[in-house]
Amino acid sequence: MIVLGIETSCDETSAAIVSSNKKILSNVISSQIDIHKPFGGVVPEIASRSHVQNIDEVIRISLQKANVQLEKVDAIAATAGPGLIGGLIVGLLASKSMALSINKPLIGINHLEAHALMPRLTNKIVFPYLLLLVSGGHTQILEIHGVRKYKLIGTTLDDACGECFDKVAKMLDLGFPGGPAIENAAKFGDDEAIELPRPMINHLTLDFSFSGLKTAVLGKVSDTMSEKIKNNIAASFQKSIGDILYKKIEKASNNFYKNYSYKPNIVFSGGVASNQYLKNRLLNLSELNKVNFYAPPRELCTDNGAMIAWAGIERLFENPNICEYEIAVNPRWQLDKLHL
Ligand code: KG4
Ligand code: ZN
């Protein structure tokens, strides 16, 4: 099977061709970073227009790179939510039109489901696993028991972790997107130099809160900060995040063991999972607990069409007759509501 995947939920227009034997034949990503940079964040209206301008070309190049004609794909998978409504409409309508024109199934993909399943494209990971899904819009811990069998066990009560990286980078004037900028600055900083809180780290639940950490960083920022101080703040902030994720996953893993009598594999995904420092922290935890740890390669952590195509393939394995021409975009589509 060969599936064309289309992703347009935020600021990347992406199209990819992926085969059911786990080959990524193409994964074309047109990033809008430079367009949104002057605004310090994604501007939804500009994002929608940019998707309209780019989508045809991105799809054409993805087919060309894979050396596949549109008529030869077995299905088209497109992000139907959650995300920015304008971008979702562009991608889903383009995909519906193509699917109808070649008389092939359309599969509406939940963007979070794609992040959740993506690690199975690059690694041999069996269900169930414990997933830490950390992106610009979400911070969740889930038990992944199978395709469409997702149990949400922890989530953020305010900001998403990636959003917090972006806002802190803005305070430090490090640029957009903030995640990679903070990771880079942190390499030159002292992670013990600035005292910052770790909200909810010892809370009974697996939920997160990042807004207090963000405000605490704001309290350390001044107009006359030297580069050294910025690097120290970046490193100390990243360490706080690392400590929080470590503790929550440790707790989730212990709970899983209590509930199911075996230790879970741990999977880290979403844009923030491209952070090598955070990956190393969770790898250490996994080694201590003697469990397997997986994270997709950096370029597949952030939004891309290959993860959408792969989620389409997983959905097809589950139900070979699937066809969702009637699906509508859902900007607030929750992952744990999928199978209901
Ligand atoms: O998954 P993604 O591409 O888009 C959403 O679905 O939201 O995630 C984007 C988020 C942004 O907030 C970005 O700053 C963050 O992932 N991010 C990182 C890194 N690379 C991207 N955060 C920390 N460290 C990174 N290296
Ligand atoms: Zn994403």
Atom number, ligand 1, closest to the C-alpha of residue 160: 12
Q: How far is the CA of 274 from the centre of ligand 1 (A)?
A: 7
Nearest to 212 by CA among 175, 179, 186, 244: 244
Q: Domain containing 202 — which CATH number?
A: 3.30.420.40
Q: Are residues 60 and 198 in the same domain?
A: no
Q: 166 CB less than 6 Å from ligand 1? A: yes
CB 325 within 8 A of CB 102: no
Query: Is this structure's pTM higher than 0.85?
Result: yes
User: Using a 6 Å cutoff on CB, does residue 274 contact ligand 1?
Assistant: yes
Give the number of domains in the chain. Answer: 2
Question: Does the CB atom of residue 199 touch ligand 1 within 6 A?
Answer: no
List all residues 6 or more positions away from 191 whose beta carbon is below 8 Å from its beta carbon. 232, 235, 236, 238, 239
Q: Is residue 250 included in any domain, yes or no? A: yes
Instruction: Determine how many CB atoms are found less than 10 A away from the CB of residue 338.
Output: 14
138 plus 261 within the same structural domain? yes
Question: Distance, CA 224 to ligand 2 centroid (Å)?
Answer: 35
Residue 286 lies in a domain: yes
Q: How many residues are given for the chain?
A: 340
Partners of 141 in beta bridges: 132, 154
DSSP H or E run through 271: none
pLDDT tens across 140-169, in order? 999 999 999 999 999 999 999 999 999 999
Give distance in angstroms: CA of 270 to centre of ligand 2.
Answer: 6
Nearest atom in ligand 1 to the alpha carbon of residue 270 is 1
**Which pLDDT belongs to residue 272?**
98
Residues 91 and 223 placed together within one structural domain of the fold: no
* Same domain, yes or no: 92 and 136: no
Quick check: is 331 in a domain? no
Measure 272 CA to ligand 2 centroid, in angstroms: 9
- Is 161 among the domain residues? yes
Q: Are residues 93 and 223 in the same domain?
A: no
Which numbered ligand comes closest to the C-alpha of 273? Answer: 1
330 domain-assigned? no
Q: Which amino acid is at 200?
A: M
Looking at the fold, whether 49 and 10 belong to one and the same domain comes out as: yes
Q: pLDDT (tens digit, 9 = 90+) per residue, 14-65?
A: 999 999 999 999 999 999 988 998 888 889 999 999 999 999 999 999 999 9
Q: Which atom of ligand 1 is nearest to the CA of 276?
A: 26
Query: Which numbered atom of ligand 1 lies nearest the CA of 177?
Result: 14
**SS3 category, 286:** helix
Is 337 within a domain?
Answer: no
Instruction: Indicate the average pLDDT of the chain.
Output: 96
Whether 140 is in the pocket of ligand 1, judged by its Cβ within 6 Å, is no
Among 280, 259, 283, 305, CA closest to 91: 305
For residue 340, the model assigns a pLDDT of 38
Whole-angstrom Cα distance, residue 133 to residue 57? 30
Q: Do 146 and 279 lie in a common domain?
A: yes
Would you state the pLDDT for residue 336?
77
Our answer on whether the CB atom of 113 is closer than 6 Å to any ligand 1 atom is no
Is the C-beta atom of 237 inside 6 A of ligand 1? no
Pair (245, 306) in one structural domain:
no
pLDDT, residue 150, reads 94
Q: What pLDDT shows up at residue 2? A: 98
Residue pair 197/220 in contact (Cβ under 8 Å)? The answer is no
Is 340 among the domain residues?
Answer: no
Return the ∠ at Cα 299 (arms to 29 and 9), rounded to 5°.
50
Residue 137, ligand 1, Cβ within 6 A: yes
Residue of minimum CA distance from atom 13 in ligand 1: 179
**Claim to verify: residue 276 and residue 136 sit in the same structural domain:** yes
In the reported structure, the alpha carbon of residue 32 is separated from the centroid of ligand 1 by a whole-number distance in angstroms of 14
Query: Hey, CA dihedral for 317, 296, 155, 110, is it positive or negative?
Result: negative
Query: Tokens 């703040």 identify what position?
Result: 233
Cβ of 136 less than 6 Å from ligand 1: yes
**Does ligand 1 lie within 6 Å of residue 165's CB atom?**
yes
Domain span at residue 71 reads: 2-117+300-318
With a cut of 50, list the residues of the chain below it in pLDDT. Answer: 340
Q: What are φ and ψ of residue 241, in 5° steps?
A: -60, -45
User: Are 277 and 164 in the same domain?
Assistant: yes
Verify that 238 and 312 share a domain, yes or no. no
Which atom number of ligand 1 is nearest to the Cα of residue 9? Answer: 6
Within this chain, do residues 89 and 140 fall inside the same structural domain, yes or no? no
Which residue's C-alpha comes closest to atom 1 of ligand 1? 271
pLDDT of residue 339: 57
